[in-house]
Structure 1
Amino acid sequence: MPEMPTKLAEIVDEFAAAPRDVVLEMLLEYADVIPPLPGELAGREGMEQVPECQTAFFLRAEVNPDRTVTTWFDCPPEAPTTRAFAGILAEGLSGASTDEVLAVPDDLYQRMGLAQAISPLRVRGGTAILARLKRQVREQIS
């Protein structure tokens, strides 16, 4: 059975082991790691909105010929927690295969210990981001 990508597993373990009082600070460090959108996605063309997020959040997953997955996220800077979710996924899934992406547990943010550090609404938004990302990957490989 495939496992989630090593990079993402390391991030999850780092958060799970961190003291509660630094988890939010660690989370916000990921808000700035989202790469800029390529020109063809300007205007969010071909991106899917995640309405479960409190802020305007858009994503796109693309399965490459070698079955690795490329992800793109668009979220305003004034939503640092949501941007951080995207940053964790961008960094943790970089270079991941379709099987690895689909193996990411749906309760990822709870495993990281974020349910104790941020509001349930934000955790729900992060979980929806992951669910839509995985759905896009499944649709492209079936």
Structure 2
Amino acid sequence: MPEMPTKLAEIVDEFAAAPRDVVLEMMLEYADVIPPLPAELADRAGMEQVPECQTAFFLRAQVTPDGTVTTWFDCPPEAPTTRAFAGILAEGLAGASAAEVLAVPDDLYQRMGLAQAISPLRVRGGTAILARLKRQVREQTA
């Protein structure tokens, strides 16, 4: 059975081991790692909105012919927590296979210890981002 990507597992472990008072600070570092959208996605065409997020959040996952997954996220800079979720996924899933993406546990953010550091509403938004990403991958590999 595939496991989640090594890089994402390392991020999860890093957060889980961190003192609670630095978790939010660690999260905010990931808010800046989201790559800009390519020109063909600039108008968000082909991207899916995640309505569970309090802010306008869009994503797209594409399974390439070699089976790796490319992700794109669009979230305004004034939503650093939500951008951090996207940044964690962007960095942790970079180069991952479809099977590895689908192996990411649905309770990822709880495993990271984020439920103690941020509001349940934000955790729900992050969980919805992951769920939609995985659904897109599942649909493309079915």
Tell me whether the two structures share a fold, i.e. TM-score over 0.5.
Answer: yes
Q: In the alignment, which residue of structure 2 is the partner of 1:134? A: 134
Structure 1 ranges of 4+ moved more than 2 A: none
CA displacement at 1:72 relative to structure 2? 0.0
CA displacement at 1:20 relative to structure 2? 0.3
Is the partner of 1:71 in helix, strand or coil?
A: strand
CA displacement at 1:63 relative to structure 2? 0.2
CA RMSD of aligned residues (A): 0.2
Counting only pairs closer than 5 Å after superposition, residues 104-119 of structure 1 correspond to structure 2 as: 104-119=104-119
Q: How many residue pairs align between the two structures?
A: 142
Equivalent-residue separation in structure 1 for 2:69 and 2:31 (angstroms)? 21
Is the partner of 2:42 in helix, strand or coil?
A: helix
Equivalent-residue separation in structure 1 for 2:39 and 2:62 (angstroms)? 15
CA displacement at 1:65 relative to structure 2? 0.3
CA displacement at 1:16 relative to structure 2? 0.1
Identical residues among aligned pairs (%):
92
Q: CA offsets, 1:58-112, max 9 Å, x none?
A: 0000000000000000000000000000000000000000000000000000000
CA displacement at 1:44 relative to structure 2? 0.4
Q: CA offsets, 1:38-65, max 9 Å, x none?
A: 0000110100000000000000000000
Equivalent-residue separation in structure 1 for 2:38 and 2:85 (angstroms)? 20
Equivalent-residue separation in structure 1 for 2:42 and 2:113 (angstroms)? 34
Is the partner of 1:59 in helix, strand or coil?
A: strand
TM-score, L = length of structure 1: 1.00
